[in-house]
Amino acid sequence: MFQKAKSMLAKSLGIYAILVIFCFSSFGQRAAVPTFFFGGGISSSNYTPFWLRANQFGAVPTEGNYVNAGGSTYIEYRKGKKMDWGLGASARLNLGETKADLFVQEVYLKGKWGIFELSAGRKKYIQGLVDSTLSSGSYIYSGNALPMPKIEIVVNEYWHPKFLGQFLGFKGNFVHGFFEQERKNVSQVYLHQKSLYGRIGMPNWPIKFYGGFNHQAQWGGTKRYLKNYKPIGGGLPTNILNDYLDVIAAKSLAGAGGDTATYGPNEGFNRLGNHLGSLDIGLELEGKQGKLFLYRQSIYDDGSLYYLNNITDGLHGISYHTKRKKGLLKIIFEYLNTTSQGGAEFDQRLNIRGFDNYFNNGIYPEGWTYLGKGMGTPLMTLDSETDLNASKEVYFDNNRVETFYVGAEAMIGENRLMFRGSLSNAIGSFGAEYVPVKKQLAFGLQWQRQIFVFGQNALLSANIGADIGSWKKDLVGGNFILSVPIQ
């Protein structure tokens, strides 16, 4: 059932992208303005500077010099319409020194009815309470990797039930997604995702409270391997509907000893699939000069958070957004800690759940990644992204991390500037610690300005970045991109 849907969706992506970008120019009142862009990047090392490639939805290569070109177009909902539809597409060609990557970054159809939206395809999104434009990256879903093909039902804006007035608001989503067809030792892997977030406070109040959770699960797959037992069958479990319901409910399979004959010891004594996510809280204070937002994302992976074993881990943030049009517009400070992971012990009888090993998984060896990039915070790095180890595999060899981060945005004349900087301490992982701790400084500065090109108001963006420390060879690099609307 899901495999057939996945195949149909995958075949449609390229067709949608071509049609949308190159053919759709207007639909009566539904004007779509295609945009063409080109650019390139260069680095003094074989890596791209960290803050030039992180959280770019897979658009910027991790390694090597490159040139790129592409196009995009979008049709958004019309104001005041209870029912409406929209679409979007963005395709890109990256030409590197050793390879060429042609990919569709976004292609989707969407429709809304009242508060609900249904969409299908690749679509950019970030999940979790966080500053969405300048953060170092939401812990669980940051926009670091290429968007995954998915089918989603979502309430995008806070909905206020009439019987509660506007004092309480809710939003959330429910997703079925498709990982890439072939992963290491496993194929046909699915994503289940859901979230629910609430807001306390009237829209015009100067103080509001936020809270909620998101639940992610990798599940399914053929030829699922663990190091200590043989692959389970040649296909998906025999009752995929029951398995899907177990994944949605995060049901424990342990029961009377666990069904290890069907699922193997890892899942049979635990849960079907790889479950992870975050519990988030936030506080918003608004004054005459600006808005202050404080947030905390607490991490859960294997039960450690339930027993408070890893309570010190999480993403902590303070964001201040001014109401000015010029000068300093926004400043943000974040602290990410993933060093506890429940500790170095695991004793279920004593409710000690250590060795969490965030973003890695024994059944899905490439862990919480999509097409070779981490889907969560980019500050937890893959073996392929640094020189901390020589193997260059797709797994997280640096997931016990402590990072201090600052970001700022300013408008000086007609020039928009954005700065990102981080100091990270890499501890490694349990059993493979880095002694002494490996430190890394990373900086990125972006400049944007509207310019007049080919008779159009184009956007020119240029970036410069530098990485200094023990994770890889010190480097400096830059890139640029010119986006020109086609009218």
Tens digits of residue pLDDT in 156-175 = 999 998 888 889 999 999 99
pLDDT of residue 224: 60
pLDDT of residue 351: 62
Q: What is the largest CA-CA distance in the chain?
A: 72
The average pLDDT across 347-360 equals 74
Where residue 354 falls among pLDDT bands split at 50, 70, 90?
low
pLDDT of residue 270: 65
List the beta bridge partners of residue 276: 216
pTM above 0.95, yes or no: no
The average pLDDT across 410-426 equals 97
Q: For residues 444 and 430, which has the higher predicted lDDT (pLDDT)?
A: 444
Report residue 38: phi and psi, to 5°: -150, 160
3-state secondary structure 101-159: EEEEEEEEEEEEECCEEEEEEECCCCECCCCCCCCCCCCCECCCCCCCCEEEEEEEEEE
Percent of residues, the chain, with pLDDT higher than 90: 64
pLDDT of residue 302: 76
pLDDT of residue 338: 96
Report residue 241: phi and psi, to 5°: -65, -45
Q: Give the Cα-Cα-Cα angle 224, 230, 231 (nearest 5 degrees).
A: 25
What does the block give as tokens for 251? Answer: 């049901």
Asked whether the predicted pLDDT for residue 79 surpasses 60, the reply is yes
Where residue 6 falls among pLDDT bands split at 50, 70, 90?
very low
Q: To the nearest whole number, what is the mean pLDDT of the chain?
A: 86
pLDDT of residue 487: 74
CB neighbour list of residue 106: distance below 8 Å, 6 or more residues apart: 57, 72, 88, 89, 90, 121, 122, 123, 124, 147
